[in-house]
Amino acid sequence: MIIHNSTGKNMRIAISLADSHISQKPHFAQKAEQAGFDMIWNSGESIPTFAGMLHNTESVNIGSGVLRAFQHHPKNIAQHVLDLQLMYKNRFVLGLGGGTKYMNITTLGENFPKPATHIREIINFLRYAWSVPAGESLDFQGQFYQITGAALRWNQDPKESQAPIYLAAVNPAMLRMAGDICDGLCGHPIASIDFINNVVWPHIDEGLNRSNRTRKDFDHQTWVTMSVSKDRKQALKELKVHLARFMATRSYSIVLDSQGYADVREAIQKAFFNNPNDVDALADALPDEVALKHGIAGNPDDILEQISRYDGVVDGISLYTASNLMSYERVHESIEMTTNAIASIK
């Protein structure tokens, strides 16, 4: 589905299957392609999952939204991406993110200093590795990685192996980097239109200026958290709980603070750090009007109307189903209702 975008591009509609069960991802990917979504994103914890999704679809691009850059050695990322490109006709898009400091310490057991500089080096290596034909040798000397030895396997035509790289970013340094060296942005799923216009785009523009590019050379996709249900009250509460758990993250304080919602952010953090699983307290801490500025909730007809407000703001949106403290059954129901809603207007 494409909505005309007043900036000269067409606003594309993607869907994220990030929090669906792994056993259902190939099925939902197939249904999303049939419904007419322009792209499909999935979380990057399991690289083999993308092969299953790509195998079950025919022509739609599928991206990692996002693959945590520090979770894998850069050469492994380069080879995995190349393999997917070769097997599935260049339909894979690499979305990279650094993760928060807390996330990296608790899941990877390590804090990665200078994350922006570190990720920039990873991106530089990926593009370098894809440019070296199979049979030749790598010689990459960076601040964090010194990588030598055999080039990637099966890279017979380097021109065909270059995957688009999108960067997940919330804070200024990462947003500038996205505009400077990346093909697009994986916009954070708690970003309001005000935040996009007043914070995200200006920093991306700074990066684009560094690389002598314009917005026409860049694909700004923003994730939009949504909950779809026949019961509007249920959908709104699910949206509020999901957003609140994101908004409690200290690394994302800029989103609410930059819009004059520091008091809301403080109330959310108080509720979250008191009990992160108290859905009522989390929902109560986030006012309805603030939630609906940062996400979408309602029945299938409601969401179609709400999607249109992003026209002219970004190049594409990825509909990201709320899932925090929800059952897989309920998450899958919301995904199915979203898919059917888009199919109805294709």
For residues 243-270, average pLDDT: 97
Q: What's the chain's average pLDDT?
A: 95
pLDDT (0 to 100) of residue 6: 37
Which strand (E) or helix (H) includes residue 61?
Answer: strand 61-64
For residues 266-289, average pLDDT: 98
Q: What is the pTM of this model?
A: 0.95
Indicate if the pLDDT at residue 66 is higher than 90.
yes
DSSP structure string for 314-338: -SEEEEEE--TT--HHHHHHHHHHH
For residues 32-47, average pLDDT: 96
Q: Per-residue confidence at 104, pLDDT binned at 50, 70, 90?
A: confident
Q: Per-residue confidence at 9, pLDDT binned at 50, 70, 90?
A: low
Indicate if the pLDDT at residue 5 is higher than 60.
no
- Token representation of residue 203: 């920093």
CA distance 100 to 84: 27
Q: Which of 280, 167, 146, 296 has its CA nearest to residue 220? A: 167
Indicate if the pLDDT at residue 254 is higher than 70.
yes
pLDDT (0 to 100) of residue 4: 40
- Token representation of residue 308: 């249109």
For each of the domains in the chain, give its residue range(s) and CATH number, in order of start: 2-344 (3.20.20.30)
Indicate if the pLDDT at residue 333 is higher than 80.
yes
Q: Please count the other Cβ atoms lying within 10 Å of the Cβ belonging to residue 345.
A: 11
CA 12 vs CA 4, 5, 319: distances in Å = 9, 9, 11
Structure confidence by residue, pLDDT tens digits, 127-175: 999 999 999 999 999 999 999 999 999 999 998 889 999 999 999 999 9
pLDDT (0 to 100) of residue 45: 85
Indicate if the pLDDT at residue 42 is higher than 50.
yes
Contact 62, 26 (CB under 8 A): no
pLDDT (0 to 100) of residue 213: 98
CA distance 183 to 49: 23
For residues 265-292, average pLDDT: 98
Contact 203, 179 (CB under 8 A): yes
For residues 246-270, average pLDDT: 97
